[in-house]
A and B are shown apart, each in its own frame.
Chain A
Amino acid sequence: MRGSLKFALSALAAGTVGLASVTAAIDGSIGGISESLGQWRIGPLAGAAGADPYTRAHFTAQDRLPPNSFEVQEYETAVDSDGRSLDSSCTYRLAGHMPPTRWWSVWAMASGLNPDQQPVGVTSNDVVYDAEGQVLIAFSPTPLTGQWIRLSDYGGFSVIMRLYNPAVNFRRNAKQEPLPVLARVSC
């Protein structure tokens, strides 16, 4: 009887630790599946035949097919410019020059293993640039003037920025190029 109880407790603890550690590894919280560029993370091997299991799991856990990193540079962040986790009840602003690319999209997506949440976002076709050629995109649960991406009741969320067919020079020096900054405005 005591043996059965110990086995049950052991299995429960093992399941909890195993799933928690795998979730953290897939999410990029631990381990080295991605490279950090400021607040942004990029998975250089995403989609490649040589991609490690954690990188593959990172995408498939969100029900996504990984992009070919040569064709699409995908940047993802789950934190603001001060390193705080993104919270859908807050307001954020993405500001700066977009990298040189033929076409881009930016969207918000629920974090964690939630493939049911549909992404909402903007693309280079419908964004308005300011006089200096910068973008100013607000993420907020309530409407704001200007370019606005509505945040649903995600709780935690990520912002994804996809650059399609980026300029060759940018791709070669991606780690040195400035990226837009996502900062918290209010909470």
Chain B
Amino acid sequence: MSGRVFWVAATILLAIVVHLTYVLFAPGDSVQRKLQAMRTLAGVNSLKVLSANDSRTFLAGEGPGLVHAICLYDLGKGEVKAEAPIPHGYWSLSIYTSHGTNVYTLNDRQAQVDSLSLVLRKANPLRETENPVGVDSTLEKIFIDLTEPTGLIVMRAVLPDEPARRRVEEELARARCEPA
């Protein structure tokens, strides 16, 4: 009887371990694999406008009707700047950490400028601010303090119709992502 109790308890315990291992580690692993695949396509600290097929492959969860540009940032060698002329129509920019957390998103109306300038930098405890986003209105730049040195910038613009794809891609391609 005690042997049966032991095996039942061991099975339950092992099931809990399997459950928790998957929940805690699979998401991070999945994002890492996605970013690695994107890195192969787009390189690091450079902007890549995605074809329709690449958008479906890498950003399927965004659904139809959007054109995307991505930049895999790596702050290992210093700050990275992202500059983007903002096209007409809905446009937004999101910054994800290497674990898939969305740390910053801005759309065209919130930006209130014709051209957006962001500087991504490592979070510095000496800056003594809890807000990871700082705006320098003199320099017209937004500073984003990131605790993780690598991650992903996604820019998205609405595709009004398929014939407009080339134009929208060209508008996104005017953006820059490079070491500061």
Q: Give chain A's interface residues, CB within 8 Å of chain B.
A: 6, 10-11, 13-15, 17-19, 21-22, 25-26, 47-49, 51, 53-54, 56-57, 59-68, 70-71, 102-103, 105-107, 109, 115, 118-123, 125-126, 160, 162, 164-165
Contact = CB atoms under 8 A, between A and B. Distances in A.
Interface stretch (B61-69, B80-88, B119-127, B136-144): B61-69
B23 A107 contact: no
Interface in B1-54: 7, 10-19, 22-24, 26-28, 30-31, 34
B61 A125 contact: no
Contacts of A48: 101-102
Given A21-B19, A105-B63, A123-B64, A60 B26 contact: yes
A26 B26 CA distance: 11
Nearest to B156: A164
Given A57-B22, A126-B65, 9 more contacts: A10-B7, A21-B19, A57-B26, A61-B27, A61-B30, A65-B152, A119-B61, A122-B64, A164-B92
B115 interface: no
A59 B61 CA distance: 8
A115 B58 CA distance: 10
A51 B22 contact: no
A18 B100 contact: no
11 contacts: A18-B16, A22-B18, A22-B22, A53-B23, A53-B27, A59-B100, A63-B34, A68-B94, A103-B65, A105-B64, A165-B107
Nearest to B61: A64
Contacts of A68: 94, 102, 105
Contacts of B13: 14
A67 B64 contact: no
Interface string B96-139: 10011111010101000000000000000000000000000000
A17 B18 CA distance: 9
Contact of B18 (A14, A60, A119): A14
A17 B12 CA distance: 8
Contacts of A14: 10-15, 17-18
A13 B16 CA distance: 11
Contact of A70 (B10, B90, B105, B160): B105
B30 A126 contact: no
Given A14-B14, A165-B109, A65 B64 contact: no
A49 B101 contact: yes
A18 B16 CA distance: 6
B107 to A, nearest CB: 5
B158 interface: yes
B37 to A, nearest CB: 10
A71 B7 contact: no
Given A10-B11, A18-B18, A103-B158, A57 B27 contact: yes
B27 A60 contact: yes
The 3 closest A-B pairs by CB, nearest first: A64-B61, A18-B18, A14-B14
Nearest to A165: B107
A63 B17 contact: no
B61 to A, nearest CB: 3
Contacts of A53: 23-24, 27
